[in-house]
């Protein structure tokens, strides 16, 4: 399945391939403040429709995840990093995808605050 996503103002646009199943609800200081619901996909499943140069990046804690956001509206629709095996991954904020019924998603709590 293909999903279209964007930031709030629409300047940052992307498409992601896959089936949204379980999403992660992390309680770290960043994710909890932003209200992220994260769906992890291989990096190649994410196709940017906006040039990468038009996005801003926020790094914190161990500086291993590139939290990408729109410099106009501040919305953060995805992050980039690697999984434990070293594979390039994208963490998609499903709240920024079109046509997702958030009430039907299975949420799994992740204790990022203790990491």
Copy the structure tokens of residue 112: 């990022």
CATH code of residue 51: 2.170.150.70
Residue 16 domain-assigned? yes
- Structural domains counted in the chain: 1
Residue 49 domain-assigned? yes
Could you list the residue range(s) of the whole structural domain that residue 94 is in? 2-110
Residue 60 domain-assigned? yes
pLDDT digits (tens, 9 = 90+) for 50-78: 999 999 999 887 777 899 999 999 999 99
Q: Considering only CA atoms, give the Rg of the chain.
A: 13
Residue of 102, 112, 96, 97 whose CA lies nearest to 33: 112
pLDDT digits (tens, 9 = 90+) for 8-55: 999 999 999 999 989 999 998 888 999 999 999 999 999 999 999 999
Confidence of residue 79 (pLDDT cuts 50, 70, 90): very high
Q: pTM of the full predicted structure?
A: 0.92
């Amino acid at each position: 399945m293909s999903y279209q996503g964007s930031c709030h103002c629409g300047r940052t646009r992307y498409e992601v391939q896959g089936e949204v199943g379980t999403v992660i609800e992390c309680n770290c200081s960043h994710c909890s403040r932003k209200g992220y619901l994260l769906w992890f996909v291989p990096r190649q499943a994410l196709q940017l429709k906006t040039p990468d140069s038009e996005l801003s990046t926020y790094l914190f804690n161990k500086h291993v995840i590139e939290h990408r956001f729109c410099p106009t509206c501040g919305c953060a629709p995805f992050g980039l990093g690697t999984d434990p095996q070293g594979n390039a991954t994208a963490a998609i904020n499903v709240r920024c995808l079109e046509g997702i019924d958030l009430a039907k998603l299975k949420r799994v709590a992740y204790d990022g605050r203790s990491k």
